[in-house]
Homo-oligomer: A and B are copies of this chain.
């Protein structure tokens, strides 16, 4: 009667299919180990933790290297740690590409994907991030770049921090909240830019004579306009003419609106996301109550769903409870005649 809503849940990394050769089993295991650990898979969990630690340390190293005194003192250590990091990340990258054919969705989506599944993986955002994490080192080592570029390449290593996004389900939620309301956010950004343009132009007219340096041109005035409309308000540049101050005061008020816009959109997006996830949990609860009792297995499954949906315990227990009541009511209505009190069947 009720539809199983599982199709909306983040898909689990189980690989359906026929029995496999030893080679295939090794590849599948590699895939499982590198993916976010499913509950119970200890080895995969340890590998996750190890990689997260290494990413964090590697990012910390980039940050610390920028401090002259630390860099001078620990130059060698930084060098060997970088070598170690790149080796590990390179092995990780190769293994990921190799085992990517084991992904449940591999070879499904399009013709190119089914013929070159590894190529398709290699152009996904997370694979590109993985590549960017190691490429600078090889480019430097190969002598392809040098001099001024070196510094830039070093900083590119900081993008390794994005490798962390792979391990958090909350990032997915956030990205979903953004993408489901992309149009509203783009509109908010457009409005910010239009208003910023008008604010900068206005301020340019009021202040350019009094402060020919800070408000020399509209682009120059944009620095003030951005700082004001986002309510950051550095205060390094401020209007000094009476007209500029009156106009500037109006712009600060408009700035409050500019901040309110994305906040309001995001608040409504999160409220909606919460509702959608609660609805999904409700469907599952309804199914679980269908036979009038919740077994230990069903309770387990519901708890897993709750956790994966990121629902709070209070909300979940209330949904479960109200579905119990609904189920009882429906049962009553269906099985007992309201007039004679006899069972319908």
Contact = CB atoms under 8 A, between A and B. Distances in A.
Contacts of A189: 253
Contacts of A341: 344-345
Contacts of A62: 201, 218
A337 interface: yes
Interface string A194-232: 100110010011000000000011110011001110111
Interface string A270-293: 111110100110000000000000
Interface stretch (A10-18, A85-93, A109-117, A172-180): A172-180
Nearest to A329: B1
A184 B63 CA distance: 26
A170 interface: yes
Interface SS of chain A: helix, strand, loop or mixed? helix
Contacts of A155: 201, 205
Nearest to A332: B1
Interface stretch (A21-29, A96-104, A258-266): A258-266
A76 interface: no
Nearest to A172: B187
Given A3-B321, A344-B339, A67 B219 contact: yes
B230 A256 contact: yes
A262 B252 CA distance: 14
A68 B220 CA distance: 11
A180 B311 CA distance: 7
Contacts of A192: 253, 256
Given A63-B219, A180-B312, A226-B248, 13 more contacts: A66-B204, A67-B217, A161-B198, A164-B190, A171-B190, A228-B232, A231-B259, A233-B233, A257-B262, A259-B260, A260-B262, A268-B273, A341-B344
20 contacts: A3-B324, A3-B325, A8-B317, A67-B219, A68-B217, A158-B198, A170-B186, A171-B187, A176-B314, A192-B253, A223-B245, A226-B253, A235-B236, A259-B259, A264-B270, A268-B270, A268-B274, A272-B315, A276-B318, A337-B338
